[in-house]
Amino acid sequence: GRMQFVFIMVGKNGHHACEMDGNGDGSDPRSFPQMYNALIVGHEDQTPSSVSSDDQDPALMRLREGTGGMFGNLILTNVATYGILQNDCGSETRTQDSSLLSSLTSPEYLYVSPNTIVSGQGFSFATELGCEGLSSARRVDPLLRVMPTGAGEDTVYIDPTTERCTTTECEASDLGPAFTNVDTVPSGGFFEQTDYIGAFGEDNNWIVGWSSIGALTIEPPAADDDGGGGGGGGGDGGNHELLLGLIVGLI
């Protein structure tokens, strides 16, 4: 499948925001998901306890069992342990060199852009022995306007858009991390080329009206409201299995 403009939040005891599996070592047929322009938000104290998982290995994304695929223009933030975990690899070619893609045949490769933004206390990648190939990411603050490091049921406000500039002058050299090193999306007509990394850009708050979480982006709380909406606020409420997601453009 192909996905673009993806927003997922994972609560303290949630597990992976997304998992892409192949068909085992031989991987015939091999899955080949393509995902561009995603914002994946973790919890700084993530402790997975998902009853539906076959293990509790922590990571915001998991790629395994010989999956192929293409992933670009991603922001992974509040990474507590690992941004991307890859294990149980097969014979797929794993690369972060976009210049090689024209010489490779889908679905026999896995590409994760080295322009992926990863922020938080955890590592960018965890790769099992035999899964070498993914190691590069940009360790920078994506400058999300308002995003709690511990989102939960009591979070009252978020703003998932990103600051375009780091100064008021906003010269080309002042562009924020989410507006530099933007990946070119795959050809074929499905994907829309953007000038930003992540799901929202500077002001494209498309989530309003699509999901109940969109209501959290409409109005900031009052200055004396300590209900968990600040940039570093946001505890986890009664439902610690919080996993809020929205995908637009899924085939």
Per-residue model confidence as pLDDT tens digits over 57-94: 889 999 998 999 999 999 999 999 999 999 999 889 99
CA angle 75, 61, 97 (to 5 degrees): 65
pLDDT of residue 58: 86
C-beta neighbour count of 198 within 10 angstroms: 30
pLDDT exceeds 70 at position 232:
no
Question: Whose CA is closest to 239, among 49, 41, 18, 40?
Answer: 49
pLDDT of residue 110: 96
Residue 165, amino acid: C
Token pair listed for 153: 């049921």
* Nearest Cα residue to 89 out of 1, 16, 17, 20: 20
- The pLDDT value given to residue 224: 58
Q: Given CA atoms 165, 171, 177, 182 in this order, what sign does their dihedral have?
A: positive
**Residue 230 to residues 81, 102, 168, 175, Cα–Cα distance (Å):** 23, 44, 23, 24
Comparing C-alpha atoms, which of 48, 119, 138, 38 is closest to residue 78?
119
pTM to 2 decimal places: 0.85
Beta bridge pairs of residue 38: 6, 74
DSSP structural state of residue 218: T
Q: Average pLDDT over the chain, rounded to whole?
A: 85
52-59's contacts with Cβ under 8 Å and 24+ in sequence apart are 53/15, 53/16, 56/15, 57/85, 57/87, 58/15, 58/82, 58/85, 59/16, 59/83, 59/84, 59/85, 59/126
Distance, in Å, from the CA atom of 134 to the CA atom of 198, rounded to the nearest integer, reads 20
Give the pLDDT confidence score for residue 29 in this predicted structure.
82
Q: Token pair 């047929």 is at which residue?
A: 29
Measured distance CA(240)–CA(33) in Å, rounded: 29
Percent of the chain with pLDDT over 90: 60
| Bridge partner list, 76 | 40, 118
Distance CA 223, CA 115 (A): 36
